[in-house]
Amino acid sequence: MIWSLIVSMYAVGGLFGAVSVKFISGRLGRKKAMICNSFIAIVAAGIMLTSKVAKSYEMIIVARILYGYSSGLGTSTHLIYLGEISPRKIRGMVTLTSATFGSLGKLFAQFCGLSEILGREELWNIVLCVPAFFSVVHVIALPFLPDAPRYLFIEKDDDKACKKALQSLWGQGDYKQEMDEMSAEQAVIEAAPPKSPLQLLRDRTVRWQLITMSFIYCCNQLSGMSMISTFSFDIFLKAGIPRDKIRYITLGLGVSEIITSISSGLLIERTGRRPLFWGAYGVMSVSWVLVTVTQTLKDSSYWVPYITTGLIILFIIFFCGGPGGATATLNSEIFIQSDRLAALVLTGIQRWVMFAILGLVFPFLINALSSYCFVLFACVCLLACLYTFFILPETKGKTLLDISEEFKAITLCGKSFLEKERVETKL
């Protein structure tokens, strides 16, 4: 019971962190919000480190809540900052670095968790404090970086600070075109002030953006990747892999994630966003179908479990090279400045609630359906493939206002969400 509570508190903290993104990032600015978030992680590490000496489960629970809060707040704020400091031509590549370094962090954690390093019972509190090192680096380095130019221009109305930030980030230049684009977006925002999450849910003009982000986040979490990340040991054990080899396969998965996310960063500005989504989802769906077959035949030969492992690695490669990284890019591109924070609050709430629910449901799902649970994942990936192929607009190289207009033009069965609003306005 205590162990389940400790594990679930991370998701609870993440949920509160996601809810507070709009308030903290809007009030403090992106840079100060990230610095504040790093201090929270350092405090959490200090509590976790001393909990062993104090022999206190309560301290572990508090530390897990703070770690979760830091993750929920930091993930969204970091994506906002990357989206707002990047030039339009390489916006996708820059925001994809969050996925690359996220994969690098997971690999580093897996490496530290090896029994030869820090993965021993007597060192559990130390290995759980490793993230504090990166938070300290964050606190030292961030003050030397400028705040986000879009935030300075649109929300603070400080064009001089914006131009200085642009020159600091992109090099010397006039940047009149970029500031004119921000000015046009600012004019749109002045006509429609920033919205709260509830107001955004009621706004028909962004209905397709919300549906798209909610659907893609849902599909990402139900695609099977969350299950692999959480229950990889059990999955490979049931697949027939020897127990002593599983930890090295897990390290191999981490390496493949990093290589793929780097490759995706190089491809995203060449291929665009849509092919990375529907192409990856298609391969992921086929991978799960084949995993179902190999799991059924796992006792027929000693090499079948290794085929299963190869298919799971193939799935991870296409997930990290497709929706795993491109979703972060899409999130920063399909909402204008006044809607972005509220949208990130909504998607953050969805992500953390589903994370908590799936952590409880997946073990029962695996036990109930056995190898046929992979058929469910295949169906989810197929639905995501069809949605992103037929409905998702391409965002590569377009301004945020252009992207917003493309979403408004989407129709389903010849009807648009804006039709009722137009009729009401006319009346």
CB atoms within 10 A of CB 122: 8
User: Distance between CA 215 and CA 309 in Å, rounded?
Assistant: 28
Q: How many CB atoms lie within 10 A of CB 115?
A: 10
Cβ-defined contacts of 165-172 (< 8 Å, 24+): 165/85, 169/85, 170/87
**Element spanning 381, H or E:** helix 373-390
Better pLDDT: 383 or 337: 383
| pLDDT at residue 416, as a whole number | 65
pLDDT at 2 over 80: no
Q: Any idea which of 145-159, 169-183, 253-267 has the lowest mean pLDDT? A: 253-267
Q: Give dist(CA 349, CA 351) in Å, integer.
A: 6
- Residues 218-231 have pLDDT tens digits of 999 889 887 787 67
Stronger pLDDT, 420 or 245, i.e. the higher one? 245
Burial of 300 (0-12, 13-18, 19+ CB in 10 A): exposed
Residue 384 and residue 279: Cα distance in Å, rounded? 10
Rounded to whole angstroms, the Cα distance separating 300 from 346 reads 47
State the Cα–Cα distance between residues 339 and 392, nearest whole angstrom: 19
Q: Compute the distance between CA of residue 352 and CA of residue 34 in angstroms, rounded to an integer.
A: 19
Residue 423, pLDDT score: 44
Helix, strand or coil for residue 113? coil
Beta strands in 71-145 (DSSP E): none
By the 8 A CB rule, do 401 and 209 touch? no
Contact present, 316 and 227 (Cβ < 8 Å): no
Do 12 and 35 contact (CB within 8 A), yes or no?
no
Whole-angstrom Cα distance, residue 171 to residue 318? 35
Q: How confident is the model at residue 260 (pLDDT cuts 50, 70, 90)?
A: confident
3-class SS at 412?
Answer: strand
Q: Could you give phi then psi for residue 415, rounded to 5 degrees?
A: -125, 150
Largest CA distance in the chain: 73
What Å distances lie between residue 372 and 113, 178, 303, 341, CA to CA? 31, 51, 20, 39
Residue type, 252: G
The arithmetic mean of pLDDT across residues 317-329, rounded, is 87
| pLDDT for position 251 | 82
Spell out the residues 6+ positions from residue 202 whose beta carbon is closer than 8 angstroms to its own: none
Three-state SS at 392: coil
CB contact at 8 A, 137 and 63? no
Q: Are 203 and 195 in contact (CB under 8 A)?
A: yes
H helix intervals, 297-372: 304-321, 323-333, 337-369
Please state the rounded mean pLDDT for residues 23-39. Answer: 92
State mean pLDDT over 15-37.
Answer: 92
Q: Is the pLDDT of residue 301 over 80?
A: no
Q: How far apart are CA 207 and CA 346, in angstroms?
A: 13
Domains and their CATH numbers in the chain? 2-145+192-420 (1.20.1250.20)
Residue 412 pairs in a beta bridge with 415
Closest CA to 335 of 415, 406, 420, 425: 406
Instruction: Give the separation between CA 182 and CA 380, rounded to whole angstroms.
Output: 38
What's the pLDDT tens digit per position in 170-179? 988 888 888 9
Spatial neighbors of 362 by CB under 8 A, at least 6 apart, are 226, 227, 230, 231
- In the chain, what percentage of residues exceed pLDDT 90? 33
Residues 6+ away with beta carbon under 8 Å from 118: 112, 126, 127, 130
